[in-house]
A and B are shown apart, each in its own frame.
Chain A
Amino acid sequence: MNGVLTRHPLFVVALFAPAAILVGVLTFYPFINGVLLSFTNYSPLYKDTSFIGFDNYAYLLEDPAFWDVVKNTLIMIVSSVVIATVLGFALALLLDRIPVGRRTFRALIFQGWIVPWVTVAVLWGWIFNADYGIINWTLRNLGLIDGILGWTTDPVRAQIVIVSGFVWRIIPFMMVMALAGLQGVPDELLDSARVDGAGPLQRLRHIILPLCANVMLVAALLQAVRLFQEITLPWVVTQGGPINATTTLSLYTYKAAFQQWDFGLASTVGILWTIALVVIASVYLKFLLRRHD
């Protein structure tokens, strides 16, 4: 194929040019420029800009509020992804074994994944409403709480609200990925294990889980990276509070950039975030490859 296509050099250019230009101008240039901006105090609110070296980095790293934000972001994203992976996998196991209506169930559950984040946000604000929310009403009826429980007024409860929204929104994705992974488990293997007297739990542990682990771990990483970008839910439901408990790194960066118009500082957060993600992802993948190669 290489030979055939190289006879049409213009065609090859035409294949790559649009994507290269779009990605170059809209992604790579902004990233490089972001690196440069992070060494300046650029702000649209002021007319002059100067090069300030690593001042922005120092400013952030010695700010306890920034470290709180990092910690809270990690807590919320890791717990969301872990919970969603486990529940998504469990759902897939269940659906994989039902004889009829598998597609219907899958389609219904999958609806959650296409609901716009802004809808999830207003909906979560409503169902967790302290006075009239259906969650509080249900808890009261079950006798679990007495009176009114303020979901967004307590740091831990506010995190629970955000995590539950994240989990609800990504379970369908994890389920679909798990179903795809289960397709790759050869029936013969399961059958012979059964013949050898392995119970369902043993089959799950020794055959299904090892074979699906890679898919699930990669899916979990993808969703974690995606949740790092997510901003709507904390913005709308908790405004990042109380006490920054639900301020994610993305909300923090966005506020620095487009509420405080501190482009230098926002770029610095973005660069630190990129570095952290690269480190986390490579450690994660390395660990994965070692275990499963």
Chain B
Amino acid sequence: MNNFAYTQATSTKEAATAKQADTHAAFISGGTSLIDLMKSNIEQHSLLVDVNKLALLGIENAATGLRIGALERMSDVGEHPLVVQNYPAISQSLLASASPQLRNMASMGGNLLQRTRCGYFRDVAFPCNKRVPGSGCPAQDGDNRNLAILGTSESCIATHASDLCVALVALEAKITLENAKGTTRTVPLADFYKLPGKTPHIENQLQPGEIITAITVPAAAHARKSHYLKVRDRASYAYALVSAAVGLDVQGGQIKSARVALGGVGTVPWRVPAVEKALVGKAPTEENFRAAAALAVRDASPREHNKFKVELAQRTIVRALLEVVA
């Protein structure tokens, strides 16, 4: 890693100010993404601003739902009774991520900003439009087995890697951001991420100096009856080939509301409103699940080695829905 400087912020304002003052500064919370990226020379920073002393904690019921401080650790949120009971998809997505050691270190805010696992992005020997704008995308015709089939462009097909984000996007989570002036704004997480388009190096709408302070999730019946299913090559400790976060509110044998989002297949966490609409008003049967799931991949654009994801994504949605109503 390059020989960066280090400072420990004692307030959100101080942290945001330090970050805004230096375009090559980075926040560090758990460090599980950042230090990994720096060791691989994918990112270099002049200054690390340690944000762990900031008062961005709390896992609690807020006015309309759940509020999680950005500095809460993945492990603590994943096993918190409030989350397990009322937002099981969030709990399951967290506990399906990484390893116990990493979950003990990693913060919720940091998880939201993790970067793709695309092998070309992760190896500086290769050209990569995300890492070096304009250098090219060898993934298009290369080893793209674990890359995206939705939201792709000619510049980039890198998959968004976070499990948590899939559950959060499905359940319509919002994040609160604060800048160096102390101004806060709240953004739906689904709107926070940017499709690669022609600018894959721009992954989200973070403004200079901004820090994520909290995540909020609206309470809902479809949040209480939610589930996260992760399909991967190994039984544990691997990224998703395909994953699905689903939630259903079933009353009188009829689906009143549905939430469905996919992971492992999108360049951003991929909510599928078409599937949700197709489920509403229907009985929660496998046949209806299959018909709805087919709508998820209508616009899929697979590459040579990830064609299997088109079918697997549908089956994953169906299986997740079956598990949530079981």
Q: Do A and B bind each other?
A: no
Q: A: which residues have CB within 8 A of B?
A: none
